[in-house]
Amino acid sequence: MNHYEIIVMINPDQNSEQVLKKICVYKKFITENHGLIHREEDWGRRQLAYPIKKLHKAYYILFNIELQSNFISLLKEKFIFDNTIIRHLIINMKNKVQHDSPMIKLKDENKK
């Protein structure tokens, strides 16, 4: 099994409930295919650096998972054919990552 970091950018027109359902669908796909989710972070709606499909914001989700490579290609296909996902990034990692990302640390500092 390989380790991956996945960032998904979801259309901001989706409400929070729709985004949660979308996340549950992908989490279910990963666990049904004997994968492990080491970290899941909801970064919320964020400003894009440049417009994508005439959108200026996106809803960001980060996953660190462990999954067999043949299922990653299936997951990638799901991302491509999902109209609500405007971008995705899948990075192969050497080790599993479980600690908080800098984005979450920054978000926590801003709350204080």
Look up the pTM and report it.
0.84
3-class DSSP state for residue 95?
coil
How does strand 55-67 pair with strand 85-93? unpaired
**Confidence band for 97, pLDDT divided at 50, 70 and 90:** confident
Question: Smallest Cα–Cα separation from 59: which of 41, 75, 38?
Answer: 41
- Select from 37, 47, 52, 45 the least CA-distant residue to 18: 45
pLDDT (mean) for 48-72: 91
CATH number of 2-111: 3.30.70.60
Sign of CA dihedral 48, 105, 75, 90: positive
Sign of the dihedral defined by the CA atoms of residues 33, 8, 70, 94, in that order: negative
The 10s digit of each residue's pLDDT in 64-87 is: 999 998 899 999 999 999 999 999
Q: How many residues in total does the chain contain?
A: 112
Ranges of each domain in the chain: 2-111
Alpha helices in 6-98 (DSSP H): 16-32, 69-81
